[in-house]
Amino acid sequence: MSFVEGPVRVRVPATSANLGPGYDALGLALDLHDHLEAEVTDGGLQVEVSGSGAADVPRDERHLVVRAMREAFTLLGVQPPGLALRCDNVLPHSRGLGSSSAAIVAGVVLARGLVAGGELLVSDDELFQLAARMEGHPDNVAPAFFGGFVVSAADGDGFLAVRAAVDPRVSAVVFVPPTGLSTELARGLLPPTVPHRDAAANAASAALLVSALAAHPEHLLVATRDRLHQDYRRPAMPASLELVDALRADGVPAVVSGAGPTVLAFVDGPGLEARCPEGWRAHHLAVDLDGARLV
């Protein structure tokens, strides 16, 4: 087994999970990307990072992309003598836009790309399964890998991911606050049980959301109603939920993106960026239909 000569480059999109009622099941890829490059060397590990998180992430084997690459190389049955990795991070860290899933997906795709004939040795599904196991849940990993709008679920010891249609009129504005929130903290605020009526309401909303995104965006406001997780997390991100409440009161289908604190609003054109709170950043983004791909 041999490695390709020269660097391999990948771009991987931001993702927004949950989308309101689709807790741990629905995810959407967005047109905002990290760009990474890796090359097999004669020895040692070199990690260069620019952009988001550059001051905080490790530059050794603990780096999440490196960890994902090592796992993928093990799956491929080979480890390179040395590795040089360069990351240009655009996705904000700890903001609910899938930065950790992007790192994992980028790592496994880069590793396969560095092995000659890698796509014949390990399938897309095998790479997705590996990435989802590393992340622990598939809702961000699936759209990061496959692109578009993806419905995912646990299936015994593995995971399922099915792409669903997205109406071409649908885009999103994400409002990104200046400080982050750990997923662990956000998950820790959720109760162990919820009322049956809330679970039933969320099931109905999630089902409607699949149809609304596919062909009926006029129903997105109703389809994005959530009763499982967002209000329970309000103490950790009050400004985010205040923005969600204000937008929804004006008829805008707004939700917390992933575990937060970013807010995502579905739109059919530009203009909502003017609602961005002071100190936050707003991005009007199309749906990314490609997912992670070598460039």
Q: How far apart are CA 18 and CA 186, in angstroms?
A: 13
Residue 93 assigned as binding residue: yes
Residue 94 assigned as binding residue: yes
Helices (H) and strands (E) in the chain, counts: 9, 11
Residue 257 assigned as binding residue: no
Minimal CA–CA distance to 48: which of 59, 33, 64?
59
Minimal CA–CA distance to 110: which of 141, 75, 73, 137?
73
Q: How far apart are CA 141 and CA 275, in angstroms?
A: 29
Residue 95 assigned as binding residue: yes
- What is the length of the chain? 295
Residue 97 assigned as binding residue: yes
Residue 100 assigned as binding residue: yes
Residue 101 assigned as binding residue: yes
CA angle 131, 106, 184 (to 5 degrees): 55
Residue 102 assigned as binding residue: yes
Sign of torsion, CA 62 68 74 78?
Answer: negative
List binding-site positions for ATP: 92-102
List binding-site positions: 92-102
